[in-house]
Structure 1
Amino acid sequence: MKILKGILFTVLGLVVLALVVAIFVKKEYTVERDIVINKPRQQVYDYIKYLKNQNNFSKWAKMDPSMKTEFRGTDGTVGFVSAWDSNQKDVGKGEQEIKGLQEGKRIDTEIRFIKPFESTCSAYMTTEDAGLNSTKVTWVFNGKMNYPMNLMLLCMSMDKMIGGDLQIGLNNLKGILE
């Protein structure tokens, strides 16, 4: 019985310790990638501001060519929603909404994941001049993991998990536009 109590108190102590540590662990994460595309800034912006075009360059959209898609609103304007539903767990179900546009410079979106887990993050793409007829495109994801789930950020890198996917998407975008 003493051994069982000892094990129980040890496990309980570890759980309490993890919960205390989670109080001090960051909750937000940011993943950012960029690329230079040899096209004028306005031309690049005019392509990426349409969420439907992400299906042409995003790695995630290409993971399941048979996923169901639905669009609501006018693409390229605030309030437009691009939704997807896939039977593949790596793609899942969710939607992305244009939340803000700075003409020629920036597109802000909110991504709402529904399956395989519920989560919301913000993303944006910016365009800036990078020389004559060249444009630097930056793609950024910002997310948050609430307490105590933020404890997972100690043992997993969101940058490593999705950064490569962002870069693949940007490389695809460069290939399309050039």
Structure 2
Amino acid sequence: MGIIKKILVILILVFAIVLIGAYFMPKKYSVEREITINKPVDSVFNYVKYLKNQNDFSVWASIDPKMKSIYKGTDGTVGSIAAWESDVKEVGAGEQEITKITENKRIDFALRFKKPMEDTAVGFMSTEAVTGNQTKVKWGINGVIPYPMNIMLPMMKMDQMIGNDLQKGLENLKNKMEN
């Protein structure tokens, strides 16, 4: 009986330490990548603001060619939604909604993931003229991992995991725009 009590006390202590640690861990993540494209800002912006075009350069859309896409509203305007559904775990199911557009500068969107797990995040794509024929494009995603799951945030390596896909997507966009 004494050994069982000691094991139980140790388990409770370990669990308490994990919960206390999670309380002090960051809950937010922010990932951004950028690239320079040799095209004028209006040309690049007018391409990326359409949700249907994002499937042409997004890494996630290319993972499952059989992915089902549904579009609601007027694409390229506030309130338009692109929903996706895939049996491939890395793609899952969810939707992206344009929440704000600052013409030739920035598109903000809400991301609502449904599968493989429910989650929400916000994202943006911004364009900035570097020279007359060059545009810097930034793509970013921000989210929150709720307590106590945030204890996993340092191990998840969100910057690397999401960042690599954003960078590859931007490289795809550059190739598409320049060729």
Superposition TM-score, scaled by structure 2 size: 0.98
Q: Which residue in the other structure is 2:135 paired with?
A: 135
Q: Which residue in the other structure is 1:61 paired with?
A: 61
Q: Which runs of 5+ in 2 are unaligned?
A: none
Q: Which residue in the other structure is 1:79 paired with?
A: 79
Number of aligned residue pairs: give it. 178
2:81 maps to 1:96: no
Shift of 1:23: 1.0
Q: Which residue in the other structure is 2:13 paired with?
A: 13
Shift of 1:7: 1.2
Q: Which residue in the other structure is 1:118 paired with?
A: 118
Question: What code does the residue aligned with 1:19 have?
Answer: L
Shift of 1:160: 1.0
**Secondary structure at the counterpart of residue 39 of structure 2:** coil
Matched residues in 1 for 2:4 and 2:57: separation?
56
Shift of 1:78: 0.3
Matched residues in 2 for 1:133 and 1:69: separation?
33
Matched residues in 2 for 1:151 and 1:172: separation?
34
Q: CA RMSD in A?
A: 0.7
**Secondary structure at the counterpart of residue 22 of structure 1:** helix
Shift of 1:131: 1.9
**Secondary structure at the counterpart of residue 26 of structure 1:** coil
Matched residues in 1 for 2:122 and 2:71: separation?
19
Shift of 1:156: 2.1
List 4+ stretches of structure 1 deviating above 3 A.
none
Superposition TM-score, scaled by structure 1 size: 0.98
Shift of 1:37: 0.1
Q: Which residue in the other structure is 2:158 paired with?
A: 158
Question: What code does the residue aligned with 2:97 have?
Answer: E
Tell me which moved more, 2-11 or 164-173: 2-11
Shift of 1:146: 0.8
Q: Which runs of 5+ in 1 are unaligned?
A: none
